[in-house]
Amino acid sequence: MASDEAFAAFMRANSASLFRTAFLLTGARASAEDLLQETLTRLYPKWDVVSRADSPIAYVRRSLTNAFISSGRRKQIGTLSRWERPDGWDRAGDEDPEDEVANRELVWQLLGALPRRQRAAVVMRYFHGMPDDEIASNLGCRAVTVRSLVSRAVAGMRAGSGAQPDTNGRREHSR
């Protein structure tokens, strides 16, 4: 089946990237794989539609994000109880100053405590570098809502870390 072959090729090329996104959303490798599996299981039957999208990877990422946000009570519990550090977390950070490592650990944990939509917005903004209108398209909301989500997320994380508000005049949602 042509769409099956296309799906397989897409998966082999993009599963690693999608897994990393899922991991940032769920904070757990097991949950990330579950989320990815759930998303792809839903998309597989209509892969011919997905493959005709302007950007299939963006389509899948959007589906992944929506599955994460809208998934029900069961998975949310698992996610909350298993927010974990990446397996290469310490190795990759050896060269960083000690306070940077400590900050990073705290920021990572605070990210895990964010509400789902805020966390998704943060991941899209700071990992994928998406502009607000693209995040808005992914989340099914307006750009102003994205700015609000990110602003609240950053403010909440900053408050949780005890950090002082930025004093360099930059807005948190400056994109």
Partner 1 sequence: MNDSYEDRIRRTVQHAAASTSVPVGLAERLLAGARSDESVRPLHTDRARTTGRRVRGWWPLLGAAAVLALAVALTWVSVHRGRNQPAHPTPTPSSVPVSPIRGPVPAGFRGVDLSFADASHGWALGTTQCTSVAGNQCATVIRTSDGGHTWGLVASPPAAVNSAPICRTSSANPPACVGHVAFVDDHVGYLWSDSSVYLTVDGGGTWSAQPGGALRLVIARGVVVRQMREPCGECGTVHYQVAPVGSNAWRELAVPNRTDIESELFAGRDAFYLVESPFSNAVLNLTTGQIVSRKASGSVDQLTLYRSTDAARTWERMTTVPLPYIVNGLSAALDDSLLFVRYDAPQSPIGMSTSTDGGRTFGPYRDFPRPNLALPTVRAISADRTLAIFPAVSGVGNHNTTALSYLSTDAGRTWHLVQRENGVDSVTEVGMGFSSVTNGFRLAADQRSAWLTTDGGQTWIRHAF
In residues, how long is the chain?
A: 175
**Do the Cβ atoms of 64 and 26 come closer than 8 Å?**
no
Q: Please choose, from the candidates 129, 123, 112, the residue with its C-alpha nearest in 3D space to the C-alpha of residue 149.
A: 123
Burial of 102 (0-12, 13-18, 19+ CB in 10 A): exposed
Question: Which listed residue (3, 6, 11, 137) binds partner 1 by CB under 8 A?
Answer: 11
Q: How far is the CB of 55 from partner 1 (least distance, A)?
A: 19
Nearer to partner 1, 59 or 108 (CB): 108
Residue whose pair of structure tokens reads 């099956």 in the numeric block: 4
- Asked if residue 142 binds partner 1 (CB under 8 A), the reply is no
Token duo for residue 53: 């999208």
How far apart (Å, rounded) are the C-alpha atoms in residues 44 and 97? 45
CA dihedral of 122, 167, 89, 39, whole degrees rounded to 10: 0
Nearer to partner 1, 38 or 134 (CB): 38
Token duo for residue 165: 């508000």
- Asked if residue 63 binds partner 1 (CB under 8 A), the reply is no
Question: Which listed residue (2, 72, 94, 98) binds partner 1 by CB under 8 A?
Answer: 72
Nearer to partner 1, 51 or 76 (CB): 76
- Asked if residue 143 binds partner 1 (CB under 8 A), the reply is no
How far apart (Å, rounded) are the C-alpha atoms in residues 134 and 59? 11
- Asked if residue 6 binds partner 1 (CB under 8 A), the reply is no
- Asked if residue 91 binds partner 1 (CB under 8 A), the reply is yes
**Interacting residues with partner 1 (CB under 8 A):** 4, 7-8, 11-12, 15-16, 19-21, 23-24, 29-30, 33-34, 36-38, 40-45, 69-77, 80-81, 86-89, 91-93, 99-100, 103-104, 107-108, 111, 115-117, 122-123, 126-127, 154, 157-158, 161, 163, 166, 168, 170, 172, 174
